[in-house]
Amino acid sequence: MKKVLLFGTFDILHMGHIHLFKKAREYGDYLVVSVARDINVEKIKGYGPVHKEEERKEILSYLRLIDEVRLGYLNDPYQVINEVQPEIIALGYDQKVYVDKLEEAITGFGLNIKIVRIPSYNKEKYKSKKIRKYIEKMV
C-alpha cells in the first residue's frame, strides 16, 4: 500500500481543498492528512483559524477521499513524516512553510520519499485567504 502525506491548515474547506485531496490521492492508495495546530497557524499566518484544530480534524474525517486525519505536532512539524513513513509527500502549489528543510528532515529519518506539488484549482476564486476576506466583509 502506497501512502501519501499531505499537510495543511484546511480552515475554510472549499473546492480548492477537495481538488488537493483528489490529486494527492492519485499518487497512492492511502491518504494521510496532517492538520496544522492552531498555535502554528497563528505563527505562520499572523492570525488564528476560524475553526479550531479539533473541528478542522473532525470535518476532514468525514471526507471519503481521506483515509486518516491527524493533528500536526506543536514543536516538530516533521515528526509526523517519521511516524507515517509515506512514499509520497504532496504539497500545495503555494505551500512555502516548512518546505525549506523538508528534504533534510526526510534524509535525517533515513527515508526515501518523493515530494510532489499539486497544481492550483481556480486560485482566483478558491483560496482560503480570499474567502476569509469575503466572509469578514459580510459580518
Any catalytic annotation for residue 3? no
Pairing relationship of beta strands 30-35 and 3-8 according to DSSP bridges: parallel
Q: Which of 22, 43, 129, 133 is catalytic?
A: 43
E strands along 19-87, which residues? Answer: 30-35, 68-71
Catalytic residue among 3, 22, 23, 45: 45
The reply to whether 45 belongs to the active site is yes
How does DSSP assign 79-132, residue by residue?
Answer: HHHHHH--SEEEEETT--TTTTTHHHHHHHTT---EEEEEPPSSTTT--HHHHH
- Residues with a known catalytic role: 43, 45
